[in-house]
Structure 1
Amino acid sequence: MLTINVAVLLAFIVVMRLRRRTEARSRLDEKFTVVIVLALGILLAPTELGQGILNVLTQLVQGVSSSG
């Protein structure tokens, strides 16, 4: 349960950081956002939600690659 709570907090932080204007961001700010997004991905990956997202993306990629 703790993993989901931390993931929700990180998702909120990511949304708030991405709402800011692009011109106002420094390189360090952008790197920090990337680290937060990676941490969010690591926290979501072992959960049922993470596995569901992985399955949907896998099916999407397979559909695109088979149609091309």
Structure 2
Amino acid sequence: MLTINLGVLLAVIVVLRLRRRTQSRSRNDEKLTVVIVLALGVVIAPTPVGQGILEFLGQLASGITDSSR
């Protein structure tokens, strides 16, 4: 039996969609890409990888805020 991780599948779809040229996208196509990216975020958020990304982005934002003072 073959199983596909939903997060990996969504990530592949996002990469393939973003490789297309911007001029050839319609508004609906862009909206669909946003929905897929949001779904990917919801899928990976509770995982250890998602928590690591959140921690990294928090540290990055904190570093940028501290450097601007």
TM-score range relative to shorter protein: over 0.9
TM-score by length of 2: 0.92
More helix by share: 1
Say if 2:38 is the partner of 1:58: no
Counterpart in 2 of 1:24?
A: 24
TM-score w.r.t. the length of structure 1 is 0.93
**Map of 1:1-68 to 2, 5 A cutoff?**
5-68=5-68
Unaligned runs of 5+ in 2: none
Identity across matched positions, percent: 65
For the aligned residues, what is the CA RMSD? 1.4
Return the index of the structure with the highest Cα Rg: 2
Runs of 4+ off more than 6 Å: none
Gaps of 5+ in 1: none
